[in-house]
Every structure is written in C-alpha cells, then in structure tokens.
C-alpha cells in the first residue's frame, strides 16, 4: 500500500517545511482509529497555508486519508487530548520520512509523557469529570433518571481517561479496551452501570457513591495544574483573573464547577474582600493545601 501512495508523499517529502511523514494501516474491519479508512497518511509540516489540510483517495478498492497538519496544532492536540486519533497516529504510525529525527524525537517525547504535560491533561479531564458528575447527581435528585444515566456514562469516560493519564499513558480512541488492561477497577464500574439488572435509578445511586469516592481520592493530584498556578503568588485570585489566565484556557468552561468542588472539599479556600456595598463581598480564592 505504501508503494501506491509513494508518489503522493514523495512530493510532500521534497518540500522544505515538511518535518515528518507517517503511515498507519487499518488492521481490523472496523477501525475507529483510522476513521475506517484503509490507510492514514499523516504529514507534519511547519508554517503551512492551512493548519490542517485533509484529502481523501481511493485505489484498488481501498481508501486513504491524507492529513497535513501544522506542528503547533499537533502539539496542541497532544497537550490537550483534543484530537486523540492524531496522537495514536504518531505513536503507532510507521515513519516513512523525517527531517533531522523530528518524528523519532516526537515519539520519544510521547513515550516519556513529561509531568507538566500529564498535569495539564489530568486537570482537563478532572474538570470535565466534576461538571458531568455534578449534572448527573442533580438530575438524579430531580428524578430525571435517563438523563442522569447519560451523564453518568460520560462521567465514567472522563474518569477512565483520567486514570489512564495517572498511569503515564495517553488515552486512546478505544478507551475502554485500554482501561480494561490498565485500570480494571474503573472498567468494572462501567460494566456495573451498563450491564447490571438493577433498575436504572438504583444503578445510578450506586455509581454516585463510587464515582464520588474516586473523585475525592484523586482531587488534589488531579487539580495540581491549577493549584500550582494559584500558588505562584501570595494574593488570592478573583475568578475573573483566573478566567483570563492563558494557562487555564483549555479547561476554562469547566473552571467554575471545579473551583466550587475544590472549595467544598477544603482544597481551595474562599477569601472575602469588601466592596462598596454593605454586607456584600467579593469572593476570591487561594489554595488551602500544599502540594
């Protein structure tokens, strides 16, 4: 298959801004990793006209997708897990061209998974988990059991990805196969929610207890990215200050619910500041725990 695609990628390899080319072939009839294409041609470039260019091909009753991606966009995907397929393409793809060992070094960086990158990924998944879990619990309390069930499934997905990152791995597209190997305890929770013969409300009730326990024991380490950032100064932070901080933008939409959770669990403390109005105070925040 590589031979057929050679004229396409050789043209790209000859261009000075091409950093690396990888190829990944489908190895199962149904392949979410390759979007069910028979082959993915993944080309990493520097300063392209388009940050992400995609083209589809067909040959000999087979299909191929070529992705040309700017290196900065790829790094963003890697740092935030916002496009996990691309991370798998780098990890599992075969290198057919690279400039100055670019892809080799990128693969090594992914394998090492530095703590700084791990902390950012953990807090992103943790923030999503807190919001989803809170919504599931609120829906359960209002007896909206089917909606609560849907949110609980989503919560377990976030918990699964968080647990994989804790173990030093990048979450894959087929995350539950990965969880079954790496974190069987969470896989068992998922099975109990999906496959149990108990009524829906009873299943959710049990999951609320189990997930709350899982969140609680991970809260300090999962929120490390935020807590370390807040510890960089003595003064407490207003929410507005945190909201515009560039290092928080990847989880800004879930920041409010995460902060409330951390306040409720005495990991962050509220510092009240006077306003011009009588008996009205600004809420500001500072870490209560030392990491």
Q: How confident is the model at residue 81 (pLDDT cuts 50, 70, 90)?
A: confident
Between CA 121 and CA 108 the distance in angstroms is 18
Mean pLDDT of 251-276: 94
Q: What is the mean pLDDT of residues 157-162?
A: 96
Read off the pLDDT of each residue in 261-282 and give the average, rounded to a whole number.
91
Q: How much is the mean pLDDT over the chain?
A: 93
Query: Would you identify the CATH topology of the domain 115-287?
Result: 1.20.120
pLDDT of the residue at 290: 65
Indicate if the alpha-carbon torsion angle 58, 20, 165, 240 is positive or negative: negative
- Say what the pTM is: 0.89
By the 8 A CB rule, do 63 and 34 touch?
no
Report how far residue 100's alpha carbon sits from residue 19's, in angstroms, rounded to the nearest whole number: 8
Instruction: Label the pairing between strands 62-70 and 52-59.
Output: antiparallel
Three-state secondary structure call for residue 82: coil
Q: What's residue 291's pLDDT?
A: 63
CB 63 within 8 A of CB 204: no
Q: Please report which confidence band the pLDDT of residue 5 belongs to, taking 50, 70 and 90 as the band edges.
A: confident
Task: Map out the domains of the chain as residue ranges.
Answer: 2-112, 115-287
Quick one: pLDDT at residue 195? Answer: 93
Is the per-residue pLDDT at 116 higher than 80?
yes
pLDDT at 1 over 70: no
Give the pLDDT of residue 60: 87
Q: Are 124 and 251 in contact (CB under 8 A)?
A: yes
The residue-averaged pLDDT of 234-238 equals 95
What radius of gyration do the chain's Cα atoms show?
Answer: 22
What number is the average pLDDT over the span 69-80?
Answer: 95
Q: Is the pLDDT of residue 289 over 80?
A: no
Fold of 2-112: Beta Polymerase; domain 2 (3.30.460)
């Amino acid at each position: 298959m590589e031979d057929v695609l050679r004229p396409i990628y050789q043209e790209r390899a000859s261009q000075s801004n091409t950093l690396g080319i990888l190829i990944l072939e489908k190895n199962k009839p149904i392949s979410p990793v390759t979007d069910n294409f028979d082959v993915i041609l993944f080309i990493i470039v520097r300063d392209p006209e388009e940050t992400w260019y995609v083209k589809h091909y067909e040959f000999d009753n087979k299909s191929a997708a070529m992705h040309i991606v700017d290196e900065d966009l790829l790094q963003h995907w890697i740092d935030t897990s916002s496009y996990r397929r691309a991370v798998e393409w780098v990890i599992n793809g075969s290198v057919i061209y690279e400039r100055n060992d670019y892809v080799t070094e990128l693969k090594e960086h992914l394998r090492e998974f530095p703590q700084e990158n791990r902390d950012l990924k953990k807090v992103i998944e943790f923030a999503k988990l807190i919001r989803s879990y809170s919504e599931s619990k609120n829906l359960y309390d209002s007896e909206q059991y089917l909606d609560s069930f849907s949110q609980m499934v989503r919560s377990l997905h976030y918990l699964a990805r968080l647990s994989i990152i804790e173990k030093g791995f990048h979450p894959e597209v087929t995350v539950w196969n990965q969880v079954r190997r790496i974190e069987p305890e969470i896989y068992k929770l998922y099975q109990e929610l999906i496959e149990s013969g108990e009524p829906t409300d009873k299943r959710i009730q049990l999951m609320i207890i189990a997930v709350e326990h899982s969140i609680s024991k991970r809260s300090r380490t999962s929120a490390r990215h935020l807590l370390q950032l807040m510890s960089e100064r003595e003064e407490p932070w207003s929410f507005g200050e945190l909201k515009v901080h560039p290092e928080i933008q990847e989880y800004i939409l879930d920041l409010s619910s995460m902060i409330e959770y951390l306040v409720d669990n005495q990991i962050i403390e509220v510092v009240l500041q006077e306003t011009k109005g009588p008996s009205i105070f600004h809420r500001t925040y500072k870490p209560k725990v030392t990491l």
